Amino acid sequence: METIDKIKQQLADNPIIIYMKGSPKLPSCGFSAQASQALIACGEPFAFVDILQNPDIRAELPAYANWPTFPQLWVEGELVGGCDIMLEMFQRGELQPLIKETAAKYKTDDSAE
């Protein structure tokens, strides 16, 4: 599968996904750490791709996204932005409802709530 196809598949399969260095539990850079902490604080599950483990995605995604840096938060296939934008949105109280509403849309009926 071509890298761009893989990225498109990940975006289609995961309504909330962050491309970052490392993982939310073990981030490999300060920006990824801050961005994933903001997402975790929203209280909804999200997917992540460790670009350090996926050099093809690390190489191709900036051109596809027209966004040069990581982390990158995508919601419903749309690029939200990087660390600074996420933190600004979080501080303004805009990130939480975006994440909660998106997660609610994709919750299945058999979730344990």
Q: What is the pLDDT of residue 71?
A: 98
Q: What is the pLDDT of residue 107?
A: 85
Q: How many domains does the chain have?
A: 1
Q: Residue 74 is part of a domain; what is its CATH number?
A: 3.40.30.10
Residue 109 confidence class, pLDDT cut points 50, 70, 90: low
For residue 41, give the DSSP letter. H
CB 3 within 8 A of CB 55: no
As a whole number of angstroms, the distance between CA 17 and CA 10 comes to 8
Domain holding 89, by residue range, is: 3-97
> 3-state DSSP call for residue 16?
strand
- Rounded to the nearest integer, the mean pLDDT of the chain is 95
Residue 100 confidence class, pLDDT cut points 50, 70, 90: very high
32-62 pLDDT, tens per residue? Answer: 999 999 999 999 999 999 999 999 999 999 9
| Number of other CB atoms surrounding residue 86 within 10 Å | 25
- The answer to whether residue 113 is domain-embedded is no
* Gyration radius of the chain's alpha carbons: 14
Helix (H) or strand (E) holding 34: helix 30-41
